[in-house]
Structure 1
């Protein structure tokens, strides 16, 4: 199933956050423990505001209660409105 957002929306794939201990052990954190989520934009609408602010593969932060969750295949996706996006992660 392919989803093309319309209006002022983006489709993001959820990223499971991980941290490393001082000895190098990777700890995968449960997203349910945090009040926010991080995801990669995998599809954008053609709205001018969306196109000006975001591009494919931007990593964004949003509230875990926002958006519409879409479960399809092995990855978790969320459809977000423009005003539900809290920020872009700059690395």
Structure 2
């Protein structure tokens, strides 16, 4: 399914957070425990304000209750309004 956001919206794919212990064991964090989510932008609308602030593959943080969730067995995506995005994660 291809979704192209319109208006002041972005489409993000949810990122599952992983942490490693000092011995190398991977701990998968449950996103449901946190009040925020992290996602990677996979599609942008043509809105000039969106294009100025974001680009595809940016990692963003947003409230767990934000957006419209779209999912099936193979993916989990969220369609977000501009004002629902809390920040861009910079490395």
Range into which the TM-score falls when normalised by the shorter chain: over 0.9
SS of the counterpart of 1:79? Answer: strand
Give the TM-score normalised by structure 2.
Answer: 0.97
2:80 match = 80
Distance 2:5 2:73 in 1: 18
Stretches of structure 2 lacking an aligned partner (at least 5 in a row): none
1:23 positional shift: 1.1
Corresponding residue for residue 54 of structure 2: 54
> Which residue in the other structure is 2:21 paired with?
21
Runs of 4+ aligned structure 1 residues displaced above 4 Å come to: none
Taking the aligned partners of 2:22 and 2:87, their CA distance within structure 1 comes to: 28
Aligned length: 91
Counterpart in 2 of 1:11? 11
- The CA deviation at 1:24 is 1.2
- The TM-score, its normalising length taken from structure 1, stands at 0.97
Structure 1: tracts of 5 or more residues without a match: none
Q: Partner residue of 2:89?
A: 89
